[in-house]
Amino acid sequence: MDREPAARRLTELRELINEHNYYYHVLDAPCISDALFDQYMQELMQLESLYPELSSDDSPSRRLGGPPISAFAEVRHLVPMLSLDNAFTGDALLAFYRRLQKIFGMGSITLVGEPKIDGLAVSLYYEDGKFVRGATRGDGYRGEDITANLCTIRSLPLRLREDIRAEVRGEVFMTREGFARLNREREQEGLSLFANPRNAAAGSLRQLDPAVAAQRPLDLFAYSLVNLSNKSITSQWEILALLKALGFKVNAHVSLLQDLDEALHFYAEINTLRHSLPYEIDGVVYKVNDLLLQEKAGSTSRAPRWAIAYKFAAAEGITRIRDITVTVGRTGTITPLAELDPLLLSGSLVKRASLHNEWIVREKDVMIGDMVVVHKAGEIIPEIVMVLKKRRSGGERPFIMPQSCPSCGREAKRLQGEAALRCLNPACPAQVVERIIHFASREAMDISGLGESLAAQLYHSGLVHDVGDLYALTAEDLLKLERLGEKSANNLLNVLERSKNNPLHRLLYGLGIRLVGERAARLLAAHFGSLPCLAAATSAELIALKEIGPRIAFSLISFFQGAEAKTVIHKLKQAEVNFLEEQEKEGQEDLAGKSFVFTGTLQRFTRQQAKEMVEGRGGKVLSAVSKNVDYLIAGGTAGSKLTRARELGITVLGEEGFAELLNQEPF
C-alpha cells in the first residue's frame, strides 16, 4: 500500500479502534467480534511499522483499553496489567518463537501453555495472607475497585494457606451451564438476556449491590503472581504450582512445553477439547517459562514480548443481505450498515454487520440480496468476510452511497485523504444528538443519567439545540418529557450543576472536536491553561506541542473559528462552566500518609473530583472503612460506612469540613 492510502487507512483504523475500545472496555457492550477487533489492531500495527513516520503517540496501538467506570473507586496497578499480542496462524506463532530464539540466543525455549479463558481479568491483593482488595484491569494502569463483589466468588480464597503479601492475577468467568441457568431465570422474570458468558461475568462484577453478585454463578482461575514477598520463584510453572498450594483454582489443562512442536501439538489438543469444556475459551496463551528470560525479553508499552495468545478461528456463517442502510455519527461520518437475514452464531442472533465505508463496499463487491459469509465471535455487529458471487441469481442490486445526509438532507462530501463520506452540516440532527451523548459521557463531562434516549428527547423537543443549552434546562422543562419524573429531573439538574466544575481537559474532550481525543485534550489543557488561550492559539503554537500535528491543529482552528462553536462557548460561559485547567502545585504533599473514604451523595464535588484533590496532595482514597482510615467524608444519605467510622473513632467531615481541610473557600 502506498503512503497516501496508508495514511487514510490509519486514520480510519484509529477511529474504529477507539470507538470499539469504548464499547468493549467501558460499556461491556461490544459491537464487533474480538476477532475483527484483533484484525483491526493487527492491521494498524502493521501499517505503523511499515510507515513509522505516520505513527502517533496517542494511537490505540499504545493504549490498553478504556478508563474505569466512575461508579467504583479507582485502583492504580502497582505493575501494569498489559495486554497480549495475538497470533492467528501457525506462521505467526513460528515468528514469535524465532524472535525469542534470537533474543535469547537459544535453540529450544520452554513455554507454558494455558487455555485462554474468555472472561474478565482481575488483580487480587493479599496482605499477611488476607484478601484486602480486588480490581478490574481497566486501562491496564487504573482499574475499578470491585472487592465486595469478588468476595462473593467461592473459588476465590479470602485467606491464603500462607501469611504472605502478594498480588495475584486471574480471570473471572461464568460456566456455560451457569450462564444458561442465569438467562433462563432472567427470561422468567422478564429481564433482558446476557449476550454471552463474558458479558454476564463482567456485568455481575459491576453490580453496585454485592448481594446481586452473590447470586451469580461466577468462578475464577488464577494464572499469575506479581509483587510476591518472601518466595524464591524462578519460572511460570512454579508460579502455577504455588498458586495451587496457596488455595487458588488453576486450570487443569496447563502444560509445560519443551519446544515449538509441543506448542503446536498442545494448540491442536485444546482446539479439539474446547467445545467439551464447561467454560468458553478463545485460544491458547503461551508464556516463556523462565522468569529471568521473561525479564530479558521485556515488554512494549502495550504487551510483553515473552507471551502471545494464539487465537482460535472465529465462528462463521452464511446469510443474505436484505438491505443496506446508513447511519450518521457524531463527526458526520456516514457509515453503511448491512441488514441481514437473522443468523444464529455462537449462541446469539446476528442481524446487522457494519460495512465501514463506501470503499469497503466496492472492494468486497457487496450488493443488496447477496449471500455472504459473516464472521463472528460473540459480538452484536460482526463483519462481512466475503460475498458468495457464484450464488448470485441476477436479482441482486448494487448499493449506491447517498450523496446527501439521511438525517438533514444536506450534501455529503468526502474530505481530502479520507475514505468516508461526511455530512458537514454542524446542525445535522443526528450529529447534534450524538454530540450531546458524547458531551455527557464519563470521560467528558460525566453527566450521569443523560443517555441516548434522553439526549434524543431533549433535541427533538426543542429544549436543546447544542450542548450549551443543557445548562439552561429547568425542572419545568424536564418534567414535560416522557418518562422523566421529578426525582430524575432534579438528579439531572444536580449533576449538570456539578459538572460545571470539571477541569478544562474534560470540557475540551466533551466538545467533540474532531481528532482531539482524551490525551490530546489533556496536553492542550495543561499547556494553554484556559479555553480562551487555546481558542486564540495559532497553528504554529499548536504544532510546536509534542503530539499535536498539523491535522489536529487545523481541526482545532477550524472548530474555534466556526459560528456554532462560538455560540456554544458563549452559552457555556454564561452558565459559568469552568474554562480553566487546574495547575498542579509543586511540592504540596500535606495529605501524604492520610487515608480517606467517601460515602453518601456529594453536592459540591463529584466523587472523581474529590478523589483527585486528595491524591493530588499526596493522600490516598480507600473504598472500605477500617482502622487504617484517617477521614470519612460524609455526603447526603450516608449509611453503614458512617456508622462504622463512628464506632472506630475515625474523624468524620461533611463537605464543608472537607473543603476547609483542603484550604478551599467553604460553600
Q: Which residues are catalytic?
A: 116
Look at phi and psi of residue 597 and say left if phi exceeds 0, alpha if psi is from -120 to 50, else beta: beta
Which of the 8 DSSP states describes residue 471? G
Q: Which three cell numbers stand for residue 416?
A: 481530502
| Calpha distance 247→228 (Å, rounded) | 15
| Calpha distance 492→554 (Å, rounded) | 35
Asked whether the CA dihedral 201, 204, 206, 211 is positive or negative, the reply is: negative
List CB contacts of 558: < 8 A, sequence separation 6 or more. Answer: none
Please say whether the beta carbons of 552 and 516 come within 8 A: yes
Closest to 346 (Cα-Cα) out of 322, 380, 373: 380
How is the beta sheet containing 120-127 ordered, strand by strand?
A: 130-136, 120-127, 166-174, 218-226
What single-letter amino acid sits at 230? Answer: N
Q: Which three cell numbers stand for residue 653?
A: 467531615
Closest to 176 (Cα-Cα) out of 269, 248, 276: 276
The alpha-helical segments, DSSP class H, found in 274-357 are 291-297
SS3 content of the chain, % helix, strand, coil (to 5): 40, 20, 40
| Calpha distance 438→455 (Å, rounded) | 10
Instruction: Determine how many CB atoms are found less than 10 A away from the CB of residue 53.
Output: 7
State the greatest distance between any 2 C-alpha atoms of the chain, in Å, as a whole number.
81
Which 3 state secondary structure label does DSSP give 331? coil
Q: Which three cell numbers stand for residue 549?
A: 500535528
* Residue at grid coordinates 525479553: 297
Strand partners, 350: 343
Beta strand segments in 547-648, E: 595-599, 620-622, 631-634
List CB contacts of 271: < 8 A, sequence separation 6 or more. Answer: 312
The alpha-helical segments, DSSP class H, found in 325-428 are 358-364
Total residue length of the chain: 667
What single-letter amino acid sits at 37? Answer: F
The alpha-helical segments, DSSP class H, found in 428-474 are 429-440, 452-460
| Calpha distance 590→293 (Å, rounded) | 42
Asked whether the CA dihedral 464, 470, 474, 480 is positive or negative, the reply is: positive
The alpha-helical segments, DSSP class H, found in 306-444 are 358-364, 429-440
How many CA atoms within 13 Å lie on the side-chain side of 204? 30
Which 3 state secondary structure label does DSSP give 209? coil
